Structure 1
Amino acid sequence: MRTALITGATSGIGKATAKLLAAQNYRLILCGRRKEALEELTTELSNYTEVFSLNFDVRSNAEVSDAFKTLPKEWQEIDVLINNAGNAHGLEPMSEGNVEDWDTMIDGNVKGLLYVSKEVMPQMKRRNSGHIVNISSVAALQTYANGVVYCASKKAVDVISEGMRLELTEFNIKVSNVQPGAVETEFSNIRFKGDEERAAKVYDGYEALKAEDIADLIAYIINAPKHVSIANVSIFPTAQAEPRTIYRRT
């Protein structure tokens, strides 16, 4: 039975992936900063597989380091790391941007991914085995106005994924970079800081991807044959032609 660690596991893509992998008989290490939601998901999925949870904020290297020190010996060999935790905050021109929003995105989307990966990679290298899946965005492919810092943070994920692949392939470790297009999750609610009306308009007039669609893709990637490494995948809803262009029917 393989062990998968998922960051940002309490909602959206992370939660959907956790549920799917539990059904596929993976042991799960679920990570999240919302303790109550993490405990609820851990209890739910423990009915189907072995589950261990780690409560920390990826933006804090100290929290990440302390959390990993609590992993029992039998949970320290991680076969699959899914770096899913991330965020978008605000949608303004750089000249009017909120510096705290910038820090939140860079600390979560970039530094958090690095902090967690650094904890997991050494044991993968020692065992000459492992798979890292990084969740980027199609925003890395095409910068859009008013979202420059978010786009830059996701471009960094692409670059980090490429660098991981260069450094880890000799150790038989696969690295996959997933770039979702428009996915209907809590993403827009967070970006617009709880403005549900504004967030809902993001998905008006077309059928966006669901978190389960990305979970299906992640499962396909990590269950591919041993000799197959899926490096980069972009996934759009049918109505989306490129990061900035969505055809709305109503």
Structure 2
Amino acid sequence: MQILGVDIGGSGIKGAIVDTLTGELVSERHRIDTPQPATPEAVAAVLAQLVLHLGWTGPVGCGFPAAIQQGVVRTAANISKAFIGTNIDKLFSEATNCECHNLNDADAAGIAEMHFGEGAGQAGVVLLITIGTGLGTALFTDGNLLPNTELGHVYLENGLEAERFASDAARKLQDLGWKSWGNRFNIYLNTMEKLFWPDLIILGGGASKKFDKFKEQIAIKTPVKPAAFLNQAGIVGAALYAKSKVV
């Protein structure tokens, strides 16, 4: 089954048609800049442009940077607060004339990893962490997703919010070397281990590409692996989520 998967981010909205049986993209990966200001109506209009560009008329899955409950946006840490309370399933469906299903963007990436990546076949508790502007998380137990965990917003023992202390944005803002930042990130991993005792932690997002530069600083018992999917994880996972809603 083919479904259009979309990854809605703060700087770009990216999408491609996905073969949900293999996880492969079967169209070009098209990107349009996120409108500024990124109001609900403006984002919906860009999504409609993307759908039109790809000539798509079927179901659409979207990964979105917020906690989403029954299609309604509940948080706005890194997006316009105008989205809070908006039913984006309804808004995006009306804008595109397609059936749209939305989920948290880190959850989308996690679904892709659990189906086709490092988490495939892994029993027990798996935690995916996306390292970028913030720290996104997706938590699975025996392959089942607990949605909207948003564990980048937990407070660490040093009193700081995790993503303000250990995200890739924090590394860049404070001009930290990979080893110094890796020590910070290990503090966050240690907190996650104490809370959930996962069987596997998977690292996604932009910084995961540099895993070799900070892996020596990771000192927890849980196995930690970089994600198999990189830029297309959110697209593939969003398509898989939409498939689960329409089949």
TM-score range, shorter chain: 0.3 to 0.5
Larger strand share, 1 or 2: 2
Query: Taking CA–CA contacts closer than 8 Å with sequence separation of 6 or more, which of the two structures ends up with the larger relative contact order?
Result: 2
TM-score (norm 1): 0.37
TM-score (norm 2): 0.37
